[in-house]
Structure 1
Amino acid sequence: MYKLIVLMAFLFLHATACDDDDEDDDEPDICNLRLDVGSGSESITRYGFIGSRGCIPFTYKGNGGNANNFSTRSACHRFCIY
């Protein structure tokens, strides 16, 4: 009986852990987001990843946008390429 309880607890914990992994699949990969310059009146050079072209500079307007927005080319490379 004890072995059955331990087995059931293990299966429950395993199923719970697998469900948590599936939640990550629902979130978009930052490096696959399209470049979004945002809104505003600022002109800030930032870097975004485009799969076929790598990390490229773009002009960010200061507000909004998305997470595919890195302050340096090396930060973009570290996050999206390595």
Structure 2
Amino acid sequence: MNSSDSLILDAKQAILEEQHRRFQALQREGRWAEARQQFQTTMSCAADLLNDSLKLLERVIETQHRHSQNLPPSEPPI
């Protein structure tokens, strides 16, 4: 994981938080039709963030797996 990965995830998290805030505001105001549409947008943002997080995690695991295969075998205990 590098700094650009972290920045992208942070930006997507901020977008999700803003969408959720909008949903809650519409809900408090009793604007149910708009809140329902906003809920769908919020869930789409959440899914996007989760998918990107999962892809990043899979990439990190793959990188660690490749690095572990390049290490010399550990010596057995004496």
> How high is the TM-score relative to the length of structure 2?
0.40
Q: Which has the higher helix share?
A: 2
> How high is the TM-score relative to the length of structure 1?
0.38
Q: Which structure ranks higher in relative contact order (CA pairs < 8 Å, sequence separation ≥ 6)?
A: 2
Q: Which has the higher strand share?
A: 1
